[in-house]
Amino acid sequence: MQTRQSRTLVLASTSPFRKVLLQRLGLAFECCAPDVDEQRIDNEPAEQLVTRLSELKARAVAADWPDALIIGSDQVAVSNEEVLGKPGKHDTAVQQLRRLAGHRVTFLTGLCLLDTRTGESRIDLIPYYVVFRKLTDAQIERYLQAEQPYNCAGSFKSEGLGISLFESMQGDDPNALIGLPLIRLVSWLNDAGVAVP
């Protein structure tokens, strides 16, 4: 019988949301915090930002894992050509949700799978689209008090109460909205010899 997993799998992230998503695949994996400057380069397109950071995160931990498959991921929200990252604090989250209310927002997730045995990486960009409902300040405040999504791009958690902020959603992989596109990742893992399922 073929084993499901002969390679060490590493998630280059401290995100509890990405960890929970990866656990859904039933694979053993390690988590490692990448030491990466996530600042956007001047005039860097959002698409380039998330793909660059997803690979940078994977490569940042590669030295500690000489024979592993390392997963890196990064996400931003884009509304009216403005790039929105993690708000970090309440006031910024209020401002973000006011700007997003009533608008279609593109969430861009960069995904990288780095094979440290060969040094080769696969990188892709997975978009997901959300239309936010029109929101009052009172609704925004109630939501932020309930979930405090200050470490989430766009100031919401779609896997929780954040779903109540949306009018509609569109995309190939709903996991991309949470920050780890599992459909693409499973395809790459299978290509790399990791059997899922």
Domain containing 85 — which CATH number? Answer: 3.90.950.10
- pTM for the whole structure: 0.90
pLDDT at 3: 54
pLDDT tens for residues 86-105? 899 999 999 999 999 999 99
Q: Is 74 a catalytic residue?
A: yes
Task: Please give the average per-residue pLDDT across 42-68, as a whole number.
Answer: 96
Query: What is the pLDDT at residue 167?
Result: 96
Torsion, CA 145, CA 16, CA 23, CA 56, rounded to 10 = 140
How many distinct structural domains can be found in the chain? 1
27-31, 112-116, 193-197: segment of lowest average pLDDT:
193-197
Query: At residue 1, does pLDDT exceed 50?
Result: no
- Report whether 164 contacts 130 (CB < 8 A): no
> Who contacts 194 (Cβ-Cβ below 8 Å, separation ≥6)?
4, 5, 6, 7, 9, 27, 69
Backbone angles phi, psi at 165, to 5 degrees: -85, -10
The confidence score (pLDDT) of residue 153 equals 84
Residue 196 inside a domain? The answer is no
- Assess contact for 186 and 116: CB atoms under 8 A: no
- Looking at the predicted structure, is the pLDDT value of residue 65 above 70? yes
CA neighbor of 120 nearest in space, from 45, 188, 25, 35: 188
Q: Where are the beta strands (DSSP E) in 80-176?
A: 82-84, 104-115, 120-132, 166-171
Asked, for residue 1, whether it belongs to a domain, the answer is no
Asked, for residue 12, whether it belongs to a domain, the answer is yes
* Res 35 pLDDT > 50: yes
Share of the chain above pLDDT 90, in %: 82
Mean pLDDT of 61-86: 92
Annotated active-site residue in 35, 37, 64, 74:
74
Q: Is residue 14 part of a domain?
A: yes
Domain that holds residue 136: 8-191
pLDDT at 159: 84
Per the DSSP assignment, residues forming a β-bridge with 104 are 131
Position 197 in a domain: no
pLDDT at 81: 85
Top mean-pLDDT range of 43-47, 79-83, 152-156: 43-47
For residue 184, being part of any structural domain is answered with yes
Please determine, for residue 179, whether its predicted confidence score (pLDDT) is greater than 70: yes
Domain assignment present for 3: no
Residue range 123-148: average pLDDT?
A: 97
> Has residue 90 been placed in a domain?
yes
